[in-house]
Amino acid sequence: MKTAEIAQRYLDYFEKNGHTIVPSASLVTDDPALLFTVAGMVPFIPYLSGDVPAPYARAADNQKCIRTNDIEEVGKTPRHGTFFQMLGNWSFGDYFKEGAIRYAWELLTSAEEDGGLGFDPKDLWVTVYEEDDEAHDLWLRLTDLPAERIQRLGKDTNYWSTGLPGPAGPCSEIFFDRGPAYGIDGGPATDDDRYVEIWNLVFMQYEITNVRSKYDFDIVGELPNKNIDTGMGLERIAFIKQGVDNMYETDQVRPVLDKAVELSGRTYGADHEDDVRFRVIADHVRSSLMLMSDGVTPSNDGRGYILRRLMRRAIRSMRLLGVDGPTFEVLFTASRDAMKSAYPVVETDWARISQYALAEEATFLRTLAAGESILEESLVETKSAGGTTIAGAEAFLLHDTYGFPIDLTLEIAEEAGLSVDRAAFDTLMQEQRARAKADARARKRQLADTSVYRDLRALGETGFTGYSDLETESRVLGILVDGVSVDRATTGQIAEVILAETALYAESGGQVADKGVIVGPGYELEVLDVQKPVPGLISHTVEVSSGEVGVGQPATSVVDAANRRAARQAHSATHLVHAALRDTLGKTATQAGSLNRAGYMRFDFSWGQALSDDTKSEIEEIANNAVRDNLEVTTRVLPLDEARSLGAMALFGEKYGDTVRMVDIGGPWSRELCAGTHVSTSAEIGLISLVGESSVGASNRRVEALVGLDAFRSLAAERALVSQLTSSLKAPREQLPARIAELQANLKTAEKKIAAFESKALGDRLPALADAATRVGDTLVVAESLGTAASADDVRSLALQVRERLGSEAAVVALGAVVSERPVVIVATNDAARAAGAKAGVLAKTAAGVLGGGGGGRDDVAQGGGADAAALPAALASVKDAVGA
């Protein structure tokens, strides 16, 4: 049974049983505490917590998920995958334990010809929470499971909570027995891989508080509306139904594994380590494909870092299988073909996805080449010093700064007959992880407890009137101070104010929040920010300028009209620039993020190289031609599928409901899904002036522009600057580039002449410097300051000449100079001095320490520097002292 067929049978069964079928949410969640949708319940959290009323009493879905907390287990067990699909059925105050158990058992054990999954009841085991007699008795009554195959387990496995105050409850898990060939007898309680958990039924029935740990808390009482949250692992069901040993061999994953086998020339099933690598490749390539299909791009932080890590682990695994060259074109194509029937987006967006994948692979292959070069230097230095171990700090630097995997460092070091101080490396890694966890905990503590908005959201959605009105009369529904609900706020306090309706735009879709005020009888509030803390609820962060505001009072939201006008101009300009980019670069130049505020727009898009000046001018001209043509701007609210069929562009990773707002500028020329505020006609934008273009990642570029009056002011300032230059340089505007180039050439010529003169002047000092040598023990030492020098190379050259002039007797030369206002010390030693123990690298570090900087180099010649030029005499004296020590 194919994976897609299993999913469809599941959805068909629950639709037949009165469930609303909900499409999968994006892998990118808007929950600030999460990077990704890590479980099937994530999109339903507002409904399960009661923060937002559920739009249906019962639902079912197949949710895409990404989870990387146990990434090291991928490939080693039959069930661990970073990307997985979670089938779920949900009840929001409707059916409870009996319904959930009956539905699960019927679907699992019904014959395939009747639409079921055809499991033999004798292969199934069940666990329940040890104190949940109700669930235990229901399993006995509703199924033909014998009592010995219903096991009671503790809170650590069979009790669900978020680890925070709120809903919680016992759960019941269903396991498939793979048979004695896979492990010991005894049921799920043995915690053996023989028993595969395939379905978890969570019974949310309690409210908990005083949470001391995930399994230590106080139960306040039963929830007024009990919920059902279930999750059945699609990949786990698939590998069982397809008769294979693990999820990596199922129909949606195995094609990538087979291509990796083909590319490497090795055999799957012949070697355990190779098998793990094949499975890692298959999992990580599919996971990367699905992440990119939801708009994630490789980067060095957040979601992009996780994607980059997955892709680089796949590249590393191919390398460990003996493949050094690029493989992603073959591997990602295989994954696309395996997934496109279930997720057509991987084919429709293939140009964009493959562009990112191939660029990331090329970048990392270059990183590996650079890392190997750095590692090779470290190997040589370690061997020449008589060492046998690469320092853990060096291995960590390669890993952390250059992205060079520790496994490759270990492998290359071993080939060279050396080891790596793995203990020191692991300590540094643990310290880094501890810092990351501390940062994550700090972020989590900063998040507001959204339960505080639950009662307010239950009153209904906040009405937004700002598309048509800049002023709206309403009333105060709630006030929060420091996250706590209060009756009123007084002068000077910062508070959150919730209104029934508002004209003020909440930050979203790249557009920043409106500025404005909220006024009412006897009070005025300055609006500092406007946000949507939970879906459907708009919260105004305000400072009470005067008076006292209370719950239930009348309130009028007033938008700063000038700021809104400029923000509308910037947002509409962003749409024009997007359309101009696609006209100029092609359809793969898709949006990867934006920011709009009054007078300014920033737009990120997928593209792998810098734009030429001609291309930037063309984009700017196309956008401004659209402004000149006074194109009509229209908005429509329509079903999402209809908008997409009309070609509306959507921002990848953005969540959209069943109905969306579509913004047209000039008809289909610019057609995007957008909830932002816009001008009525393009001429209202006034002017778009591109002021910047830069890289924001291996495959992303960013353009920045000023809009409207801000663009005019910027151009006026440039005009004034040009006027000043024409006057100063006595050249007409069109000749300015040539005149400036001529001045630059003259300056370079003069600088070369000065450098040559200074170099000759230094060279003339050679005899005097050699004559200044003093004896320290058995070594001749020259430690002199040259004053200023054009470059460190000149100082180095002179130091080597002085060393040669001193002959074969042990000699150390230390010359200091100020180069570009910073002190530099060059130390050179001859063979006899080095034989006596004087090493230039050590002496340069000594001098650099006095200068407040760093230094080092080879034993024969080295350089040190710092920030304190006044300490140069003391630094040179320290070299002399070190020679005599």
Name the binding residues for Zn(2+). 571, 575, 674, 678
- The angle subtended at Cα 833 by Cα 830 and Cα 839, nearest 5°, is 90
Residue 179 Ramachandran class (φ > 0 left, ψ -120 to 50 alpha, else beta): left
What is the rounded CA–CA span in Å between residue 243 and residue 115? 19
Least Cα distance to 140 among 128, 130, 131 occurs for 128
H, E, C per residue of 400-425: HHHCCCHHHHHHHHHHCCCEECHHHH
Q: Which residue has the tokens 């023990």?
A: 777
Cα dihedral across residues 521, 522, 525, 531: positive or negative = negative
Question: b/e per residue, 650-669, with b = 16+ CB within 10 A?
Answer: bbbbbebeeebbbbbbbeeb
Please give the span between the terminal C-alpha atoms of the chain, in angstroms, as a whole number.
Answer: 80
Residue 724 Ramachandran class (φ > 0 left, ψ -120 to 50 alpha, else beta): alpha
What is the rounded CA–CA span in Å between residue 502 and residue 482? 22
**DSSP 8-state symbol, 671:** E
**Residues 257/208, Cβ–Cβ less than 8 Å:** no
657, HSE (Cβ side, Cα atoms, 13 Å): 10
Least Cα distance to 587 among 349, 332, 357, 288 occurs for 349
Least Cα distance to 570 among 529, 510, 638 occurs for 510
* SS3 state of residue 140: helix
Can you say how many angstroms the Cα of residue 711 is from the centroid of all Cα atoms in its chain?
A: 32
Alpha helices in 765-871 (DSSP H): 766-771, 792-805, 831-835, 840-851
Residues at the binding site are 571, 575, 674, 678
Q: In what helix (H) or strand (E) does residue 718 lie, and over which residues does it extend?
A: helix 709-729
What is the rounded CA–CA span in Å between residue 112 and residue 168? 35
Tokens matching residue 446: 């900063």
- Strands (E) in 116-266, as ranges, are 124-129, 150-153, 159-161, 166-177, 195-213, 216-233
Q: Treating both helix axes as pointing N-terminal to C-terminal, what angle do 613-628 and 561-585 enclose, rounded to 10 degrees?
A: 130
- The angle subtended at Cα 810 by Cα 808 and Cα 815, nearest 5°, is 100
Strands 537-550 and 523-534 come out as antiparallel
* SS3 state of residue 487: coil
Can you say how many angstroms the Cα of residue 173 is from the centroid of all Cα atoms in its chain?
A: 33
Least Cα distance to 868 among 845, 840, 841, 847 occurs for 847
What is the rounded CA–CA span in Å between residue 880 and residue 151? 79
Phi/psi for 62 (5° steps) reads: -120, 100
H, E, C per residue of 309-336: HHHHHHHHHHHHCCCCCCCHHHHHHHHH
Tokens matching residue 880: 């002399």
**Burial degree of 556 (CB within 10 A; 0-12, 13-18, 19+):** middle
**Residue 596 is which amino acid?**
N
What is the rounded CA–CA span in Å between residue 326 and residue 174? 43
